[in-house]
């Protein structure tokens, strides 16, 4: 099988090009010589089945960051039939060095100059014909965002693949990577001969927007107002979709499944309907809001605004021993803590990386979001719902900041913060859908792995021994709840909620399904029952504990792997559990003291 490596600097549209070529049919796998996962997809090119590998974005093959080492290790340990080098056309004078470094390795390559639409607007013209002759490789101008020039680039790649050109061996590449080269002079000569860059690049629109969004006094308030507006939009649009799906799922049970299991043994009917179906259906009802959340966040992330958020937060983050990149990782954690933890590899300073990894698990991930949407919908009005969710996001940031302040002395950092602000871009509908679907697929894959197993276990624990009432204190689940009562009663968490929390340690996706099984209800009926069992103070205390306490097993495993320290993993677990209890205790007892 042919192997094609996609290589480029950060913010050059590499992920967009990878998704456009592969159709987002990507998988994650390990590669020889590399301890991390890389995205890959099988594609048909030139009559060959080829594997397209998306390598991490890097600035320099000879750098020392983790991502740069990953790329070097990949090239030094794997045969590559073609390298597609992706550069930003409007920044070619700063990015050409990477292409020259690849050229020195004598690898078959195609140079794709992306974002040609932005380069044209800036008045940059590139003599691609003579550029090709000078570089001795195909040079194609493309727009990965709109697909312009992509057929021509793939045609050039096909010609190279069909030539069966013998690639440089990994051993030779490994030796060449160790040698010094004179890239800078060669790059400067090529730019002077074949690229025309105006003395002043026109980027008035970006500058005008940045004067407002990056204002030193108004920038941060505007960011948080924008986030609140997004939550308001998600709830306003998503709630009717959620209600409609919950109605359809309830109709499916009453109209079909209840009759299908009517003659089944009581234990089987209870397991399949009150256990599996109620648990899965309750989680599934919230998928429309999750989908909407990821679609909106995909628009925000691809627009370039999150880079501005990192810039705005850098001064504040520096006071806590972090920097703007740490803030970006926190925002990534809103999707899932695991890739956010892996993203810290771009940090060259180990103390900075460890401190960032310590705070990321407090990010309000999509699994926790599902729990909160359910509880908020059950206990709070539509007017209060966005405010409560925004308050939980604010608490997420607060716990991260508190953690960073307390531990910055232990993880001191001296690495400077360098961030390049990309121009504002409005992503295409295709980009939004692909990015949103990628995140939703990840959520559904995780949910399908844990929810069914989790709800079955919860059903057995809440229905056995069989000589006691289901979900009562006498069941195995009730006994566990009683065991933890001295710790959880002071924060308003009863034994039913305690069982959901325990299973939430495995995966937060189980929590809502567990509640459906515990109460033997789904949809609106479950929400109504919960509203009679707990009040809003208990609900808020439960959500605060769920937000802060020990993350899922996947996150814990990633913490151990990325930090390469069991002691660091246990520090994260113990600290999050202790902080969760203290915050919930202060809130619950304070609210009760005030008469709520």
Q: What is the mean pLDDT of residues 187-200?
A: 76
Q: Are residues 142 and 271 in the same domain?
A: no
**Cβ partners under 8 Å of residue 122, min gap 6:** 90, 198, 201, 202, 203
Is residue 106 situated within a structural domain?
yes
- Residue 345, in any domain of the structure: yes
177 and 241 inside one domain? no
Of 196, 230, 262, which residue sits at a domain end? 196
Residues 296 and 258 in one domain: yes
pTM: 0.62
At 51-76, the pLDDT tens digits run 999 888 888 887 666 677 788 888 88
Contact call for residues 542 and 493 (beta carbons, < 8 A): yes
DSSP helix, strand, coil percent of the chain (3-state; round to 5): 65, 10, 25
Tell me the DSSP string of 369-406: HHHHHHHHHHHS-TTTHHHHHHHHHHHHHHHHHHHHHH
pLDDT above 70 covers a percentage of the chain that reads 87
What pLDDT, on the 0 to 100 scale, is given for residue 577? 95
Structural domains in the chain (count): 2
pLDDT for the residue 541: 96
pLDDT at 203: 60
Q: Is the domain of 154 the same as that of 263?
A: no
- Write the pLDDT tens digit of every residue in 198-238: 665 456 677 788 888 888 788 888 887 887 787 778 778 87
Are the C-beta atoms of 417 and 323 separated by less than 8 Å? yes
| Section 512-523 average pLDDT | 79
At 355, which helix (H) or strand (E)? Answer: helix 350-359
Is residue 35 pLDDT above 50, yes or no?
no
The answer to whether the beta carbons of residues 134 and 193 sit under 8 Å apart is yes
Q: Which of 79-88, 177-186, 484-493 has the lowest mean pLDDT?
A: 177-186
pLDDT value at residue 539: 95
Query: Is 459 in contact with 274 (CB distance < 8 Å)?
Result: yes
Whether 39 and 108 share a structural domain: yes
Residue 385 inside a domain? The answer is yes
Q: Which domain holds residue 232?
A: 219-417+431-593
Among 162, 196, 230, give the residue marking a domain's end.
196
Does an H or E element contain 335, and which? Answer: none
Q: Is 425 among the domain residues?
A: no
- Tell me the pLDDT tens digit for each residue of 479-502: 888 888 899 999 999 888 888 888
Domain holding 98: CATH number?
3.40.50.300
| CA–CA distance, 275 with 53 (Å, rounded to integer) | 42
Q: Each residue of 103-128: pLDDT tens digit?
A: 888 889 999 999 888 888 778 889 99
Note whether residue 408 is domain-resident. Answer: yes
Note whether 508 and 371 are within 8 A (CB).
yes
DSSP 220: H
d(CA 560, CA 338): 11
**Backbone torsions φ then ψ of 381, nearest 5 degrees:** -75, 165
């Amino acid at each position: 099988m042919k192997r094609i490596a996609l290589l480029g600097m950060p913010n050059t549209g590499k992920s967009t090009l990878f998704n456009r070529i592969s159709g987002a049919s990507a998988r994650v796998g390990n590669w020889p010589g590399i301890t991390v996962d890389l995205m890959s997809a099988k594609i048909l090119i030139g009559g060959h089945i080829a594997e397209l590998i998306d390598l991490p974005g890097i600035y320099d093959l000879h750098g020392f960051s983790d991502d740069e080492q990953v790329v070097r290790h990949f090239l030094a340990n794997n045969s590559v039939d073609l390298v597609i080098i992706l550069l930003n056309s409007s920044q070619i004078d700063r990015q050409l060095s990477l292409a020259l470094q690849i050229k020195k390795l004598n690898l078959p390559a195609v140079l794709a100059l992306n974002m040609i639409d932005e380069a044209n607007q800036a008045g940059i013209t590139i003599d691609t014909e003579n550029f090709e002759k000078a570089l001795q490789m195909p040079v194609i101008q493309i727009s990965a965002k709109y697909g312009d020039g992509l057929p021509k680039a793939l045609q050039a790649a096909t010609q190279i693949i069909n030539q069966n050109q013998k690639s440089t061996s990994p051993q030779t590449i490994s030796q060449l990577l160790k040698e010094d080269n004179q890239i800078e002079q060669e790059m400067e000569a090529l730019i002077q001969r074949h690229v025309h860059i105006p003395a002043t690049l026109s980027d008035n629109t970006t500058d005008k927007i940045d004067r407002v969004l990056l204002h030193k006094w108004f920038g941060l308030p505007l960011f948080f107002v924008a986030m609140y507006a997004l939550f308001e939009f998600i709830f306003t649009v998503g709630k009717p979709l959620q209600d409609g799906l919950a109605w359809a799922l309830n109709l499916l049970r009453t109209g079909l499944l209840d009759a299908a299991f009517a003659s089944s043994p009581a234990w089987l009917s209870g397991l399949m309907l009150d256990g599996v179906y109620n648990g899965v259906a309750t989680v599934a009802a919230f998928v429309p809001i999750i989908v909407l959340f990821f679609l909106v966040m995909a628009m925000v992330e691809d627009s370039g605004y999150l880079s501005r958020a990192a810039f705005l937060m850098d001064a504040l983050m520096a006071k806590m021993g972090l920097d703007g990149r740490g803030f970006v990782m926190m925002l990534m954690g809103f999707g899932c803590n695991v890739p956010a933890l892996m993203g810290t590899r771009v940090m060259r300073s180990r103390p900075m990386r460890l401190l960032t990894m310590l705070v990321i698990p407090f990010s309000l991930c999509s699994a926790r979001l599902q729990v909160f949407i359910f509880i908020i919908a059950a206990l709070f009005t539509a007017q209060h719902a966005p405010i409560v969710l925004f308050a939980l996001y604010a608490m997420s940031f607060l716990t991260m900041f508190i953690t960073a302040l307390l531990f910055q002395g232990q993880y001191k950092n001296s690495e400077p913060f360098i961030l390049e602000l990309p121009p504002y871009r409005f992503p295409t509908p295709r980009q939004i859908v692909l990015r949103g679907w990628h995140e939703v697929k990840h959520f559904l894959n995780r949910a399908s792995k844990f929810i069914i197993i989790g709800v079955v276990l919860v059903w057995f624990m809440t229905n056995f021994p069989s000589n006691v009432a289901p979900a009562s204190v006498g069941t195995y689940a009730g006994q566990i709840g009683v065991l933890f009562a001295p710790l959880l009663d002071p924060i308003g968490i009863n034994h039913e909620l305690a069982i959901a929390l325990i299973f939430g340690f495995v995966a937060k996706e189980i929590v809502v399904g567990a509640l459906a099984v515990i109460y033997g209800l789904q949809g609106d009926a479950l929400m109504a029952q919960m509203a009679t069992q707990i009040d809003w103070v208990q609900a808020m205390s439960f959500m605060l504990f769920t937000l802060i306490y020990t993350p899922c097993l996947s996150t814990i495993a990633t913490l151990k792997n990325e930090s390469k320290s069991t002691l660091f993993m246990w520090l994260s677990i113990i600290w999050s559990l202790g902080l969760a209890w203290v915050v919930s205790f202060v809130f619950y007892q304070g609210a009760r003291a005030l008469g709520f």
